[in-house]
Structure 1
Amino acid sequence: MIDLHCHILPGIDDGPDDLEGSLAMAREHVARGTGVVVATPHVGWDYPNTPEVIEAGVAEVNAALRAEGIELEVLAGAEVALTRAVDMSAEQLAGLRLGDGPWLLLEAPISVDSPGIEGLVGIVQSRGVRVLLAHPERCASFHTDPGLLERLVAAGCLAQVTAGALTGFFGRTVQGAARRYVDAGLIHVVASDAHDDAHRAPGMSAPMEEAGYGPLAPWMGADVPRALLDGVPVPPRPAFAPRPARRRRF
Structure 2
Amino acid sequence: MIDLHCHILPGIDDGPDDLEGSLAVARAQVDRGVRTVVATPHVGWGHQNTAEAIATAVADLNRELRTAGIDLEVLAGAEVALTYAVELPAEQLAELRLGDGPWLLLEAPLTVDAPGVEGLVGLVQSRGVRILLAHPERCACFHADPELLVRLLRSGCLAQITAGALTGFFGRTVQARARGLVDDGLAHVVASDAHDPIRRVPGLREPIEEAGHAPLAEWLTTTVPRALLDGVPVPPRPALAEPRRRRRFRR
TM over 0.5: yes
Band of TM-score, shorter chain? over 0.9
Quote the residue 2:145 is aligned against: 145
- Kindly provide the amino acid, as one letter, of the partner of residue 123 in structure 2: I
- Kindly provide the amino acid, as one letter, of the partner of residue 127 in structure 1: R
Between Structure 1 and Structure 2, how many residues are aligned?
245
Alpha-carbon separation, structure 2, partners of 1:114 and 1:173: 20
Correspondence 1:190-229 to 2 at 5 A: 190-229=190-229
Alignment of 1:73 with 2:77, yes or no, is: no
Tell me the CA shift for residue 244 of structure 1: 5.2
Contact 1:30-1:72 within 8 A present in 2 as well:
yes
SS of structure 2 residue aligned to 1:64: helix
Contact 1:26-1:72 within 8 A present in 2 as well:
yes
Tell me the CA shift for residue 242 of structure 1: 4.7
Aligned in 2, Cα 1:122/1:244: closer, same or farther, shift over 3 Å? closer
Which whole-Å deviations, capped at 9, do the CAs of 1:4-54 have from their partners, x for residues lacking one?
000000001000000110000000000000000000000001001000110
SS of structure 2 residue aligned to 1:55: helix
- Kindly provide the amino acid, as one letter, of the partner of residue 22 in structure 2: S
Quote the residue 1:109 is aligned against: 109
Contact 2:78-2:98 within 8 A present in 1 as well:
yes
Alignment of 1:36 with 2:36, yes or no, is: yes
Contact 1:104-1:132 within 8 A present in 2 as well:
yes
Contact 1:191-1:204 within 8 A present in 2 as well:
yes
Correspondence 1:175-194 to 2 at 5 A: 175-194=175-194
Quote the residue 1:9 is aligned against: 9
- My pick for the range that moved more, 23-32 or 176-185, is 176-185
- List gaps (5 residues or longer) in structure 2: 247-251
Alpha-carbon separation, structure 1, partners of 2:238 and 2:147: 24
Which whole-Å deviations, capped at 9, do the CAs of 1:120-176 have from their partners, x for residues lacking one?
000000000000000000001101101011100000000000011011110111111
- Kindly provide the amino acid, as one letter, of the partner of residue 129 in structure 2: V
- Kindly provide the amino acid, as one letter, of the partner of residue 93 in structure 1: L
Aligned in 2, Cα 1:242/1:23: closer, same or farther, shift over 3 Å? farther
TM-score w.r.t. the length of structure 1 is 0.96
TM-score w.r.t. the length of structure 2 is 0.96
- Kindly provide the amino acid, as one letter, of the partner of residue 35 in structure 1: R
Which whole-Å deviations, capped at 9, do the CAs of 1:193-219 have from their partners, x for residues lacking one?
000001001000010111111111100
Tell me the CA shift for residue 243 of structure 1: 3.6
Alpha-carbon separation, structure 2, partners of 1:29 and 1:98: 18
- List gaps (5 residues or longer) in structure 1: 246-250
Contact 2:166-2:208 within 8 A present in 1 as well:
yes
SS of structure 2 residue aligned to 1:37: strand
Quote the residue 1:97 is aligned against: 97
Contact 1:42-1:78 within 8 A present in 2 as well:
yes
Contact 2:112-2:140 within 8 A present in 1 as well:
yes
Alpha-carbon separation, structure 2, partners of 1:155 and 1:78: 22
Tell me the CA shift for residue 61 of structure 1: 0.6
Alpha-carbon separation, structure 2, partners of 1:38 and 1:68: 19
Quote the residue 2:249 is aligned against: none
Alpha-carbon separation, structure 1, partners of 2:109 and 2:88: 17
Alpha-carbon separation, structure 1, partners of 2:203 and 2:180: 21
Contact 1:212-1:243 within 8 A present in 2 as well:
no
SS of structure 1 residue aligned to 2:146: coil
Contact 2:189-2:221 within 8 A present in 1 as well:
yes
Alpha-carbon separation, structure 2, partners of 1:51 and 1:142: 29
Quote the residue 1:165 is aligned against: 165
SS of structure 2 residue aligned to 1:98: coil
